[in-house]
Amino acid sequence: DGGITQSPKYLFRKEGQNVTLSCEQNLNHDAMYWYRQDPGQGLRLIYYSQIVNDFQKGDIAEGYSVSREKKESFPLTVTSAQKNPTAFYLCASSIRGARGTGELFFGEGSRLTVL
Amino acid sequence: AQSVTQPDIHITVSEGASLELRCNYSYGATPYLFWYVQSPGQGLQLLLKYFSGDTLVQGIKGFEAEFKRSQSSFNLRKPSVHWSDAAEYFCAVGGTDKLIFGTGTRLQVFP
């Protein structure tokens, strides 16, 4: 079945460590996105990519990095520079319609806890 | 600027009651519009979408939404709420290169 796979589902990290969250899609979508969600909060966009080897900062990119070497993969690294990394992270992909961004397909999320 | 407003942060209804979640948007052209639902600890699932055509859109789980251009609204409705509908609901508009989400409405259902 086509979809978005995020791993790991749960991750614990010590302060000062970098951690990479995986996101893979087999939907053949060009665009991919990373969102952060805190308790009781909405979705905040971290980074997004419209095509391979290109990506743009979202609203809260500081302390995060991404790469887009393959169409199906868009890993997110949470660096030690991110002051409050404990959160729920969601990856998504989409196709683009004639008038704008089409439907987003979401993964199941990765919960990162910093100890 | 493009934006989406969900004025109700938290709504509580009794099981079997009708439901309407409000969504207003600001967008220059005729937008793509979406409603998503999120259960705790899960990803977002698409309930329904509007691209063009009939302004009353049917979705999954018995939900529907109506696009009203004159009011810049896309409200979500359900005639009879079930306890399993308790979740967070997000409205979104399709921007140029990303979706613009509202802040969400948390729905609580009492038996």
* Unique residue bearing structure tokens 């665009």: A31
Distance CA A97, CA B57 (A): 18
Q: Which residues on chain B are in Cβ contact (under 8 Å) with A50?
A: 97
CA distance A36 to chain B (A): 11
Q: Is any Cβ of chain A less than 8 angstroms from the Cβ of B12?
A: no
Tell me the pLDDT tens digit for each residue of A35-56: 999 987 889 999 999 999 999 9
Q: Is any Cβ of chain A less than 8 angstroms from the Cβ of B101?
A: yes
Note the Cα A41 to chain centre separation in Å: 17
Distance CA A106, CA B92 (A): 14
Are B90 and A109 an interchain contact pair (Cβ–Cβ within 8 Å)?
A: no
Tell me the pLDDT tens digit for each residue of B63-86: 999 999 999 999 999 999 999 999
Residue A102, pLDDT > 90, answer: no
Are B45 and A45 an interchain contact pair (Cβ–Cβ within 8 Å)?
A: no
Give the pLDDT of residue B98: 86
Strands (E), chain A: 4-7, 10-13, 19-25, 31-37, 43-51, 54-57, 64-66, 76-78, 87-97, 100-106, 110-114
Classify A27 in phi/psi space as left (phi over 0), alpha (psi -120 to 50) or beta: alpha
Are B43 and A108 an interchain contact pair (Cβ–Cβ within 8 Å)?
A: yes
Tell me the pLDDT tens digit for each residue of A61-99: 999 999 999 999 999 999 998 989 999 999 999 987 766
Say which amino acid occupies A115: L
Q: Which residues on chain A are in Cβ contact (under 8 Å) with B42?
A: 108-109
Number of CB pairs, chain A paired with chain B, less than 8 A apart? 69
Question: Tokens in use for A112?
Answer: 């990162």
3-state secondary structure of B34: strand
Question: Tokens in use for B103?
Answer: 């802040």
Find out whether A25 and A39 touch, Cβ atoms under 8 Å.
no
